[in-house]
Amino acid sequence: MGRYRNVSFLAAAIFLQILGLAVQVKRSSENQPSRLIRVWAVSAITPPEKALVRIQNGTSDLWHNYFYLRGVRQENRELREQIEQLQLDQVRLKQDADQAHRLQTLLGFKEQFIAKTLAAQVIGSSGSEQSRTVYIDKGSRDGIQLEMAVISAAGVVGRVINVFRSTSQVLLINDQQSGVGTILEQSRLQGVLKGKSSGELVIDKIMADEEVKPGDRVLTSGGDQIFPKGLLIGTVDRIDKGPEFLQVSVKPTAALNRLEEVLVIVKKEEHEPVSTATGTRASDILAERLPSVPDKPAVAANAVPGSAARGAVPPKAVRIHPVAAGSVSQGAGQTKTPAAASSTTAKPITTAPRSTSGTTGTPGSKLPATTASNPVAAPSAKLPSPPNSKPLANTTPSQPQPTPPGDRPQ
């Protein structure tokens, strides 16, 4: 028996682990994840990771904020010029946004806003090429919950799959078990974005006869109920034609293998957009477009000369703004509207170049934590434009980009 002692130990160790795996495979189908050993492991590994990240950031901030200030004046001047240019752009974009709001109100669409985000620092990874996950330094005590969307300044990052007390595990969009509802900006084709074992992102199940061009922007469609509609994911990199389906390779805009700071969308709100033209009905718009006889000014019976103008009730002015004819004529429920044109007024997330004061939402992080009063828009600044809109039969109501309430017309 002594001869087989070691082999027996080996067999027992393997048997026990296989048994454990079998139990987990069964339990995972019942949505009961095994936790305890993960909690121990994460508790052992993440504290030094957090400490190291803080030391690294502190050193970097010290260097960049106090010692290495070469070129700061020049950069400041350039940034001021950029602000002026952006202010001009903002005025123009606000007009577009106002128009979009009015259209959405008319069509009864509901907007999905990112009401609150939480900045978090990426502190570690799984350490495995087969498991593309990262750990962030925010957990349940910070309000993180399962299935919350995680984004960065550049684009979509992933979703929360495990929440611990002070850390959370985020499944990146390029993992094999990840899936994100997507829409191509130009062609308006929808699909599910998945990761491959190599870490590449692909959209499959697009019919081979569809036209997809490299460089087309890929946005979230909102269909997965995790990511709000209109967030930028990446651009089409390559298209491989199969006999039935296209395989569209996507290049993510977020640097998924070099993440440092991310934003967790902790609260989403869905409500109808507020329009300046309240009370304006579709019939009013049509009436405005059709030729009509101008109203006669009402004159008081006993009006004295000269007072006619004062006593006259002028025709009720309905402020009509230019309307994209294509959008209106398509009708609600069948329209790919200029979804989320409101986002054009949204303030893009700006990652402060190593630190500016006032942008730090949470200690140790470079991204601002935001609330509804100071919302952060989704990373995608530009959204589908009306001319490219195509009718689509089963389109869900548009859930456009978040817009800071202050930017919305009241």
Partner 1 sequence: MALTYTPREQIEVYRFSLPVTIIVPLLAVFLQAFIPLRFPFFSIFDLPLLVVIFFAMARRSQVAGLVTGAAIGLLQDSLTHHQIGLYGIAKTVVGYGASSLGVKLDVESVGTRFLVVTGFEVIHEVIYFSIAHGMVRLNLHWNWAHELESAFANAILGVFLFGLMDRLKDRA
- Residues interacting with partner 1, by CB under 8 A? 5-6, 9-10, 13-14, 17-18, 20-22, 24-25, 28, 34, 37-38, 40-42, 44-45, 48-49, 52, 122-131, 133-135, 161-162, 169, 171, 175-177, 196-198, 257-260
Min. distance of Cβ 9 from partner 1 in angstroms?
Answer: 5
169 vs 275 by CB, closer to partner 1: 169
Closest approach of Cβ 34 to partner 1, in Å?
Answer: 6
Cβ distance to partner 1 smaller for residue 167 or 335: 167
Q: How far is the CB of 152 from partner 1 (least distance, A)?
A: 14
Query: Which residue, 259 or 328, has its beta carbon nearer to partner 1?
Result: 259
CB 260 within 8 A of CB 367: no
CB of 131 to partner 1, least distance (A): 4
> For residues 106 and 157, which CB has a smaller minimum distance to partner 1 in the complex?
157
Nearer to partner 1, 18 or 298 (CB): 18
Give φ, ψ of 270 to 5 degrees: -125, 120
Strand 190-195 with 179-184, pairing: antiparallel
Question: Which one, 140 or 187, has the nearer CB to partner 1?
Answer: 140
Question: What is the rounded distance in angstroms from the CA atom of residue 249 to the CA atom of residue 130?
Answer: 19
Nearer to partner 1, 12 or 282 (CB): 12
Which residues sit opposite 135 in a β-bridge?
Answer: 124, 169
* Beta carbon of residue 145, minimum distance to partner 1 (angstroms, whole number): 17
Candidates 345, 344, 348, 351; CA nearest to 119 is: 351
Cα 20 to Cα 32: distance, rounded to the nearest angstrom: 14
Contacts of 261 (CB under 8 A, 6+ apart): 119, 120, 121, 122, 152, 153, 351, 365, 366, 367
Smallest gap, in angstroms, from Cβ of residue 126 to partner 1?
Answer: 4
| Among 228, 233, 268, 276, residue whose Cα is nearest residue 99 | 276
Output the smallest distance, CB 395 to partner 1, in A: 31
Six-digit token string for 203: 């959209």
Closer of 132 and 347 to partner 1 (Cβ): 132
DSSP 176-197: TT-EEEEEETTT--EEEEEE-T
Q: From the CB of 161, what's the least distance to partner 1, in Å? A: 6
- Concatenating the DSSP letter of every residue in 84-101 gives HHHHHHHHHHHHHHHHHH
Q: Distances from the Cα of 16 to the Cαs of 28, 37, 252, in angstroms?
A: 18, 15, 41
Question: What are the strands, taking DSSP E only, across 253-372?
Answer: 261-271
Question: Which residue, 371, 376, 369, 367, is CA-closest to 401?
Answer: 376
